[in-house]
Amino acid sequence: MSSMQPVTKTLLTLTIGITLLPVLNVVPIYSLIFVNIKPYVFTQWWGVVTSFFLITNTSNPLPVLMRIYALYSHSNELETAHFMRPQQFIYYLLFNSIMVLLFTFYFPWNLSWCFEPCLQMFLSYTWSNVNYNKQIRFYGIIPLPAKYSCLMEIILNLVFSSGDFVASSGILGLASAYVYHCLATHSFGPIYGFFNYKLLGRTEKPYIIVKSKTLNGKFKEMQMPNPDFKQGSNNNYGYGGGAPLYPQWFNKMSNLVWNSLVSTKEKPLVNTSKKAGHGRRLGSLPAQSSTSARSNAAASASARFKGEGRRLGDE
């Protein structure tokens, strides 16, 4: 638990806690899902949040443990290695959650939603893009490239979940994460790259033609190395995750909230009792006492040494 990042710890705690509520008969399960009916959207507003952390199929403990482990591993690694600050990860979660919520209004026939598969899916998609060139063992069993792990997540969602495909597969989370990465990488994403480079067979040229102006004022065509050629089609595929999408307005707002939470202002101590005397610095003496000490020392010296004082060497 000590190596777990703060946002990941919050996600894991909410998932376990909210999933256990209907299991322990604390609250009914229908009060924790999102109901896409206008009266319930406002009267049961907390369902927008709780539906992202509710695992509905709890009859079999194995898929529940697998989903909790996937949430921990994907979220903790992204928060540690990809997102530089917790605020960037929070913005990523908010962006994808809002996108998933907006996508649901395009499916009016589905009135009840549980967004936990969508949360798993957009975390899995982002993790697979960041680690696209790694070979992994899916849940420690199936060897495959990391970039295909999100497809395995969809298959598992369909196997262990029941209900509508759009709601149970987490495909809306995949769509929201795809939009996020297109914006973060300034590309059209892996789907465009697959059709453009794999199916159509297009390749980047090693050189590009650049026109430059000579000293005589004439334009001359020159061959320059193509910067996209060395990286292949990674830029067009959008692999690597790119820099985290983090707008300035959210940065300012999060810094304001963060500083107000972590900074504690010390209140000045007010002494209501009456002062018994004057404050003195340690080791100092008042003026009167030092003067009296000098006069007492002079008086004792004059009483002890009688006669005229002479300097050494005088006769």
Residue with tokens 């090693």: 206
Average pLDDT rounded to a whole number, residues 9-32: 92
> Do 58 and 134 reside in the same domain of the chain?
yes
At 6, list the tokens.
Answer: 């703060």
Which one has a higher pLDDT value, 285 or 191?
Answer: 191
Q: Does residue 181 fall inside a structural domain? A: yes
Tell me 148's DSSP state. Answer: G
Integer Cα distance of 99 and 96 in angstroms: 5
Residue 305 in any domain: the answer is no
| Higher-confidence position of 100 and 169 | 100
Residue 276 falls inside a structural domain: no
Per-residue pLDDT, averaged over 18-24, amounts to 92
Is pLDDT of 12 > 90? yes
Q: Is the pLDDT of residue 212 over 80?
A: no
pLDDT exceeds 60 at position 187: yes
Q: Which of 134-138, 156-160, 248-252, 294-298 has the lowest mean pLDDT?
A: 294-298
Q: Which two tokens stand for residue 164?
A: 């509508």
- Containing domain of residue 169, as a range? 6-198+239-249
Distance between CA atoms of 166 and 168, rounded to whole angstroms? 6
Contact present, 56 and 68 (Cβ < 8 Å): no
**Which range has the worst mean pLDDT, 102-116, 119-133, 199-213?**
199-213
**Has residue 282 been placed in a domain?**
no
**In terms of domains, do 119 and 220 share one?**
no
Is residue 117 domain-shared with residue 224, that is, in the same domain?
no
34 with 178, same domain: the answer is yes
Q: What's the pLDDT at 165? A: 72
The per-residue pLDDT for range 238-249, each reduced to its tens digit, is 666 677 888 888
Kindly state whether residues 101 and 189 are assigned to the same domain. yes
Query: Residues 19, 55: contact at Cβ < 8 Å?
Result: yes
User: 């376990």: which residue's tokens?
Assistant: 16
List of residues 6+ apart from 228 with CB closer than 8 A: 204, 235, 236
More confident residue, 275 or 130: 130
The pLDDT score that the predictor gives to residue 36 is 81
CATH number, domain at 114? 1.20.1540
Percentages helix, strand, coil for the chain, rounded to the nearest 5?
Answer: 55, 10, 35
What DSSP string describes 179-242?
Answer: HHHHHHHTS-HHHHHIIIIIIS-----SEEEEEEE-TTS-EEEEEEE-HHHHTTTHHHHTTT--
Report, as an integer, the average pLDDT of 307-315. Answer: 58
pLDDT, mean of residues 135-159? 79
Question: What is the pTM (predicted TM-score) of this model?
Answer: 0.71
User: 169, 161, 167: which is closest to 124 by C-alpha?
Assistant: 169
Please report the pLDDT score of residue 275 as a whole number.
53
Residues 225 and 95 in one domain: no
Mean pLDDT on 190-216: 68
**Mean predicted lDDT score pLDDT of the chain:** 77
pLDDT at site 304 = 53
Q: For residue 37, is it within any domain?
A: yes
Q: In this structure, are 166 and 213 located in the same domain? A: no
Burial class (CB in 10 A: 0-12, 13-18, 19+), 10: middle
Q: Quick one: 130 and 210 in the same domain?
A: no
Q: CA 37, CA 39: separation in Å to the nearest integer?
A: 6
In Å, how far from its chain's centre is CA 47?
23
Q: Who has greater pLDDT, 195 or 302?
A: 195
Q: How far apart are the first and last CA of the chain?
A: 91
* Domain-located, residue 306: no
Read off the tokens for 91. 């913005």
Q: Are residues 52 and 154 in the same domain?
A: yes
Render pLDDT for 41-95 as a digit per residue (tens, 0 to 9): 777 888 889 999 998 887 888 888 888 988 999 999 999 989 988 899 999 999 9
In a domain, 272, yes or no: no
Residue of 156, 120, 119, 123 lying closest to 138 (CA atoms):
156
Structural domains in the chain (count): 2
Asked whether residue 92 falls in the same domain as residue 169, the answer is yes
Residue 40 has pLDDT above 70, yes or no: yes
Residue 108, pLDDT score: 79
Q: Which residue has the tokens 């334009």?
A: 219
Same domain (yes/no): 120, 181: yes
Q: Are residues 137 and 224 in the same domain?
A: no
Residue 257 is assigned to a structural domain of this protein? no
Rounded to the nearest 5°, which phi and psi values hold at 167?
Answer: -80, -40
pLDDT of 207 reads: 62
